Structure 1
């Protein structure tokens, strides 16, 4: 089966997280949305996304099914999509969920107005705003755990560990000693070649994706995902880290999302609850203003390549743009534009040449290549966000 995952208005409302990827490449739970669909459908997947991302995320020219990349799959939804005939679409109200074309007919959502629309009445999870990623992480992590581990047997861990509950799974190559794993409130998943160092206390739901590490003495309270090739330490609650990022020291992160290639300096913290317990507002690019999340708990939203220095203090609902570099004493603003360099004392533009030099070194440490495709995406984001950098 071949599919394409298309972007809709959620790509706009998910910025800055979506500046560097299609929505379906967001990680929610253990898997990205695209990985979920591929597993449910045993499919090859491509993307219909904004033009400057298309080289890195190409469309599948042999696709027959087109699925909204902001929607997370479940069994009922998969059945409804698979039952579509050629020339039919699936909708819930005005939201386009999926459509089916002749094989190889690369039709965009705007060009299927004549398709026979079928109504879907059941509920599902859609990722529309950045806070939805941590808001729905527990539900999606639990679903992914069942999808990945069904019918399989966990690898054994050392006898020095303590286990509460039986909703635990470790892939081959996972290592842990002298730590506690509590899966009574949600599953705990350790991916291939992961390490949990001594003295860690981890509550489910929790996923440590392949080749990642939890460093000594970490306290993780649940509803948390650590993506591949990442390192974490300190105190975390309801955090989603997509991959290739580090929070390697003490400090608190709560109700937060970190993109790829991010780094959190030692003893940095975010607030996730306002002193007056009121709703948290976050910056939204689409309206160029702060939007009420209607959430009482909302911490840090940090896009790809962003970094902060030691002892950085992020206020409730702070949004940090792509490739921003934050440092210095005091609270920085609640919106830090993409490619900003500075802190509470003031900001300037982070020059592309300097940013590229740093990125090349970061990629090299992970045995990856910072190639021209990556550079072109960042150049486009830099140019498109210039209006926000009025320092």
Structure 2
């Protein structure tokens, strides 16, 4: 069967992260949503997403296809129902379509002609940016079981202070000495060829993905994921780094999400709690205003390729777009549009020519080419987000 993950109605609520990727390629837990589905289904998937993303994320359509809403994370019950779908059947939950079996072209699908099957079980959904860190605890625990069941962990080094070691899994090539791993509050997953430097104290749930690094004396707690080839240091609480992003120095990052290719300068901090303890509001790309989150703790949402200089201070509930460069003293405003250059004293437009020069160098350092597909996506984002900048 050919499985296709589609963005669904949550796509715009997941900006700025979905400016540069389909919903399926958001990382939550240990794996991306796509990687989870492919593990459960034991096959590859493609995506229905925005047209400008389709060059990098092409859809493969066959005569028979099962379409899956990428906002929904897989579990055993849901996957079994999807595998048993027959032609012109659709699975719904609370009037939202989760999956359907179709032989029609995408524009011809009419759910009035489908047999509706109700999914009345619980499952994790990612429908808002803050869901990524808020539901990271549950997603990480599920991924830990998915990845480690029936597998053998590498030996925990003798110098490591391991609490509840049966809840710690170390992949081949990982390096760690003289660190404290407390898995009594949740599992700890240490990925292939990753490194935890001496003096670090980590409380689970925690995931360190392939090739990622924890710097000397780092403190981590509260369901944190460090994506592939990312680095963290200082104090990190309940945060997700998608991949290839760095928060490598002292400073606090809490209840936050960083996309790919982000860099947080030394001694930078974000607030995750308002002084008056009120509910945090976040910028909404859908309403072009600030929306209630229902959360008391909410930090920084930073899109791909964005960076900040040393000693940057982010207010509670700050949204930073794609390819921004933030620097200087004081608090920048709590919505920074994509391709902005500046700080608390004001912003100008970060022109693509200059931005792409930096992007090319940054990606080359990790052995990855900034190719025409990547450039086309960022050029589209530049134009799409122009209305929020004061050019």
Tell me which interval the TM-score lies in, with the shorter structure as reference length: over 0.9
Partners of 2:390 and 2:95 in 1: how far apart? 38
Cα distance between partner residues in 1 of 2:32 and 2:272: 25
Structure 1 residue 153 corresponds to structure 2 residue 141: no
CA distance in 1, matches of 2:107, 2:315: 40
Cα displacement (A) at 1:112 = 4.2
In 1, Cα distance between equivalents of 2:112 and 2:173: 50
The corresponding residue for 2:197 is: 197
Once the two structures are TM-superposed, the CA of residue 149 in structure 1 deviates from its matched residue by 0.2
Matched, 1:274 2:274: yes
Distance 1:344 1:182, change over 3 A: same
Give the structure-2-normalised TM-score.
0.98
Contact 1:231 1:245 (8 Å CA) reproduced: yes
When residues 110 and 48 of structure 1 are mapped into structure 2, their CA distance, relative to the original with a 3 A threshold, is same
Shift of 1:157: 3.2
Matches of 1:248 and 1:233, distance apart in 2: 4
Please name the residue that 1:260 is paired with.
Answer: 260
RMSD (Å), alpha carbons: 1.2
Q: Which runs of 4+ in 1 moved over 6 A?
A: none
- Determine the structure 2 residue equivalent to 1:44: 44
How much has 1:124 moved relative to structure 2? Answer: 1.4
Question: Where do 5+ consecutive residues of structure 2 fail to align?
Answer: none
State the partner residue of 2:207: 207
Please state if 1:82 is matched with 2:94: no
2: distance between equivalents of 1:390 and 1:116?
Answer: 50
User: How many residues are treated as equivalent by the alignment?
Assistant: 389
Q: Distance in 1 between matches of 2:55 and 2:387?
A: 26
What is aligned with 1:130?
A: 129
Pairs within 5 Å for 1:327-338: 327-338=327-338
Q: 2:106 aligned with 1:107, yes or no?
A: yes
Q: 1:38 to 1:223 in 2, by over 3 A?
A: same
Output the CA distance in 2 between the equivalents of 1:157 and 1:256.
30
Q: How many Å separate the matches in 1 of 2:150 and 2:388?
A: 50
What TM-score do the two structures reach when normalised by structure 1? 0.98
Task: Tell me what 1:288 maps to.
Answer: 288
Q: Does the Cα contact within 8 Å between 1:263 and 1:306 map onto a contact in 2?
A: yes
Give 1:2's aligned residue.
2
User: Do the aligned residues in 2 keep the contact of 1:202 with 1:222 (CA within 8 Å)?
Assistant: no
Residues 160-204 of structure 1: CA deviation (Å, up to 9, x unaligned): 111001200000001100000000010000000000000000000
Unpaired runs of at least 5, structure 1: none
> Structure 1 pair 64/110, CA: closer, same or farther in 2 (3 Å)?
closer
3-state SS, counterpart of residue 379 of structure 1: helix
Q: Secondary structure, in 3 states, of the residue corresponding to 2:67? A: strand
